[in-house]
Amino acid sequence: MTRRHLAAVLVLLLLAGCASPGERQAAAPAGSTITLGFSAWPGWFPWQVAGEQGLFRKNGVDVELKYFDSYTDSLNALATGTIDANSQTLNDTLASVAGGVKQSVVLVNDNSSGNDQIIAGPGISSLSGLKGRTVAAEQGTVDHYLLLLALRKAGLTEADVQFRPMPTDAAAAAFVAGQVDAVGVFAPFTTTALKRKGSRAIATSADFPGAIPDHLVVTRDLVSRDPKAVQGLVSAWFDALTWIGEHRPEALEIMAKRAGVSVSDYESYDKGTTIFTLERNRTAFSGELDGRAKEIAEFLVSAKLVDKAPPLEGLFAPQFVRAVQP
């Protein structure tokens, strides 16, 4: 966890009365309403479909869907126990765990395969062209991570650019306004950033296969307190994917509306997000994710995004995808 990210978490803990997440959640009985957070990412909008089509109720779980305009706010909400579950990347989950938060990954939503992008303005055609330039991204989160991966690939470090931290939506707007030379953003904010004349993506998550997996992450407390609710969330996800496949035009309307983009723009995100099927989830939880987590943890430490490697014991809870009936 970056110091900036950690500071935000500590502030929220103080506002919550200095109780730990586990202490606050222990009072909530099994079978109570589960608050599930998600934010603007194509791989997470199926949650909106699940909510509107009654798929949580079908699977015996009462869910309050909470949409976050700010991805970082969703991370902090899960880290402080304000919500029970959240969709977030593996690298951001590892950052939280490194800071002492107890969380478990129970589902792979998708892999980013192009929808996270480093977009540069006119006159910058490659990563090497970023040297000495101003680059904006949300500090300590997924596209800051992508930026560092891309810089390393080009033989550069963050010290070679002028890094300007700001929320993703603000970063995209600043880029379009010409206030920064390049930006790290994820879809649908890529659509905003690419409105700048002469802009182009000079690196994407497609250049780093498997580096940015996206997950449903829950508090460790919820896993022990109400495993039936966790199972309901996971089963509802796969029901949502089935419904989307059977009602694609209607599903696209629902997801595009939540994303605030046109259906055609939303369809353009398809190839940049690889949704994981049940079979692919089971394969991932059979050792693949452990190796990926170790690789990401080593990078986070080497890039000084965390002070020490996160403990991986209990991070992955494969029993829920294994229990889903195809």
Which of the pair, 26 or 102, is modelled with greater confidence? 102
pLDDT for residue 68 is more than 60: yes
Lowest mean pLDDT among 7-11, 151-155, 167-171: 7-11
| Predicted TM-score (pTM) above 0.85 | yes
SS3 state at 32: coil
**What percent of the chain clears pLDDT 90, i.e. is strictly above it?**
88
Position 29 scores a pLDDT of: 56
d(CA 265, CA 51): 22
d(CA 167, CA 102): 25
Extents of the domains making up the chain: 34-113+212-323, 116-207
Average pLDDT over residues 290-305: 93
> What's the chain's average pLDDT?
91
pLDDT bin (cut points 50, 70, 90) of residue 18 is very low
Position 9 scores a pLDDT of: 41
Give the H or E element holding residue 34.
strand 34-39
pLDDT for residue 24 is more than 60: no
Superfamily, domain 116-207: Periplasmic binding protein-like II (3.40.190.10)
pLDDT bin (cut points 50, 70, 90) of residue 89 is very high
Query: Which residues, 6 or more positions from 218, have their beta carbon under 8 angstroms from its beta carbon?
Result: 84, 85, 86, 103, 104, 106, 230, 233
pLDDT bin (cut points 50, 70, 90) of residue 31 is confident
Average pLDDT over residues 118-130: 98
Peptide bond into 227 cis (omega under 30): no
The answer to whether 34-113+212-323 and 116-207 have equal CATH topology is yes
CATH architecture assignment, domain 34-113+212-323: 3-Layer(aba) Sandwich (3.40)
Pairing of strands 134-137, 182-186: parallel
pLDDT bin (cut points 50, 70, 90) of residue 30 is low
Distance of CA 268 to the CA centre of its chain: 19
d(CA 62, CA 286): 29
Position 264 scores a pLDDT of: 96
**Measured distance between the N- and C-terminal CA atoms of the chain, rounded to whole angstroms:** 37
d(CA 38, CA 216): 9
Residue type, 114: G
> Are the C-beta atoms of 207 and 150 separated by less than 8 Å?
yes
Which of the pair, 7 or 268, is modelled with greater confidence? 268
pLDDT for residue 7 is more than 80: no
Lowest mean pLDDT among 161-165, 166-170, 177-181, 299-303: 299-303
Question: What pLDDT digit, counting tens, does each position of 209-248 carry?
Answer: 999 999 999 999 999 999 999 999 999 999 999 999 999 9
